[in-house]
A and B are shown apart, each in its own frame.
Chain A
Amino acid sequence: MFSVKNLDKTYPTGQHALKGCSLDIDNPQIVAIFGPSGAGKSTLIRCINRLVEPSSGEVFLDDLELTGLKGKDLHNARRQMGMIFQEYNLIERLTVMENVLSGRLGYVGFFNAMFRRFPQDAVDEAFSLLERVGLKGYHNQRADALSGGQRQRVGIVRALIQHPKILLVDEPTSGLDPKTAMIIMQLIKDLAIEKGIPAIINIHDVKLGQDYADRIIGMADGVIVFDGPPSKVTAETLTMIYGEEDWSKTIRKVEDEEE
């Protein structure tokens, strides 16, 4: 249902961020991407929905090849991929409802967007999704009045209201406290399962990733160095991804389970 083939990205600065990455996702699963800062996780995710232009390679969403798309075709393709951001990236000065409905921008005309006239079914869906993530009654609050966890819930709803075929999630928990981080990860996982869509999640919290993902991809220096289930992640794998360190504490839980 989704695949990336030989994706390569060199920035104008000369930085070679992606070196021929390939991956296939055949069923709705939660894929966590591990890797140190600068490994290319963020670039990979942004090359998929073309917020960053890949230098070469192919991306397939169902049978649609994305890297050659332009203009309206590109916008229509992007609207099938929901994205959730590290810094939430909500429109700070607008209300929660406007932020949620902005997920439908790809579906409405310019003037309707300008005067905030969104179809009633979108509004209904927005209300029910807000209730689903525990933000009932918050629709007229301004985004800058919310806490980090609440903002990320709005971010999740904004992505889901696009009716995406896949979720691209970039470090969703890095600004959150450990408990809120777990709640957000659980929410993303539950909603992805509910909607029957896969999610690709960049995350540098190894334990959190192992707890919630069905599959782990490890990246180092622009190359995919590991691809397998969380149970296969060992100290050697982490050393391969992050470099030499005492990993015994981080992965004890997995080893315990295996025993």
Chain B
Amino acid sequence: MTEIQPAIWKRFSKKQSLERYGIEFVLLLIFIWATQSVDIYWPFVTDAPAQAVDLLHRMTPPSVVFIKAIIPSMIETINIATLSTIFAVILSFPLAILNARNTTPHPIVQMVARVIIVTSRSVNELVWGLIFVVFFGPGVVAGVAALTMRSLGFMAKLVSESIEEIDHGQVEAMRATGANGAKVFIFGVLPQVMPIIIGTSIFRWDINIRQSSVIGLVGAGGIGILLTSSMNMFKWQNVSMILISIFVVVLAGEYVSATVRKKLT
């Protein structure tokens, strides 16, 4: 951003502008470092447009008959997304309770919960896929396990944050009736966080639809397996049909998720 600076009036003091130039200069240096040292084979870059046109050419027209193979695989993909979301919602709930500052039984338990959440969130679903394929062998089970693991931390983090933000007065009122901890929870806490749990679950389902189309690349079930095999056989017209189907399903999922969330909240 450049400011047009008249002679007398200056937007920033000398120190401020020095600071700004300093930051901009450092950012520029970082960028130059990144571009200079990155391991790019430049002939690839100059050749890129031609290659792109070539690939697009091989991909058209998309093979419409291949839809017969795509549909069952796509259903499997949606199943993976749905099941993993359900499992993640169920498992994340106790995790969220253990992690929330105001409901955790003990700081050490909270630490353990936090470690699980952080690990779950910072390991990509493809990596979880690689791990669970080792456990269960290739297939849907590994896919469901992978997406469950990834969604778990996401759900637990958001739900435990919402537990931490509840109105404490309602909890106090339930304690005053002589209810024990569990009953205070279902009356004083649960009704307050329920909208968040429902909203986040649907949102996560939407994300999982996207991700479940990918985990097949490491053998964890769904449409990704079909995509990999089509690519390995250089069936580019099948590939383009798969991509179109994924695009349609993702958009449909986003639409469903947005509509349901609007209806419920």
Which residues of chain B are within 8 angstroms of A76 by Cβ–Cβ distance? 178
Which residues of chain A are within 8 angstroms of B178 by Cβ–Cβ distance? 75-80, 105-106, 162
A252 beta carbon closer than 8 Å to chain B: no
Tally of chain B residues near chain A (CB < 8 A): 22
Q: Which of B172, B186, B194 contacts A114 (CB 8 A)?
A: B186
B160 CB to nearest A CB, Å: 19
A113 beta carbon closer than 8 Å to chain B: yes
Q: Is the CB of A89 within 8 A of B179?
A: no
Which residues of chain B are within 8 angstroms of A49 by Cβ–Cβ distance? 176
Interchain CA distance A75-B179 in the complex, whole Å = 6
Q: Is the CB of B175 within 8 A of A51?
A: yes
Q: Is the CB of A85 within 8 A of B175?
A: no
A94 beta carbon closer than 8 Å to chain B: yes
Interchain CA distance A49-B177 in the complex, whole Å = 10
Q: Which of A81, A91, A92 contacts B176 (CB 8 A)?
A: A81
Q: Is the CB of A158 within 8 A of B170?
A: no
Which residues of chain A are within 8 angstroms of B259 by Cβ–Cβ distance? none
Which residues of chain B are within 8 angstroms of A77 by Cβ–Cβ distance? 178
For chain B, what secondary structure do more than half of its interface residues adopt (helix, strand, loop), or is it mixed? helix
Q: Is the CB of A102 within 8 A of B172?
A: no
CB-based nearest B residue for A80: B178
Which residues of chain A are within 8 angstroms of B191 by Cβ–Cβ distance? 91-94
Tally of chain A residues near chain B (CB < 8 A): 33
A11 beta carbon closer than 8 Å to chain B: no
A64 CB to nearest B CB, Å: 13
Interface centre among B174, B179, B184 (most CB of A within 10 A): B179
A230 beta carbon closer than 8 Å to chain B: no
A4 beta carbon closer than 8 Å to chain B: no
Interchain CA distance A102-B177 in the complex, whole Å = 8
Q: Is the CB of A162 within 8 A of B177?
A: yes
A83 beta carbon closer than 8 Å to chain B: yes
- A-B residue pairs, 5 tightest by C-beta: A106-B178, A79-B178, A105-B179, A78-B178, A89-B173
Listed A/B pairs (7) with beta-carbon separation below 8 Å: A49-B176, A51-B175, A75-B180, A78-B176, A87-B169, A102-B179, A105-B183
Binding site for B on A (CB under 8 A): 49, 51, 72, 75-83, 85, 87, 89-94, 98, 102-106, 110, 113-114, 155, 158, 162, 168
Contacts beyond the supplied A106-B178, A113-B183: 14 A-B pairs with Cβ under 8 Å? A49-B176, A51-B176, A82-B176, A85-B172, A89-B170, A91-B187, A92-B167, A92-B192, A93-B191, A103-B177, A105-B178, A113-B186, A114-B186, A162-B178
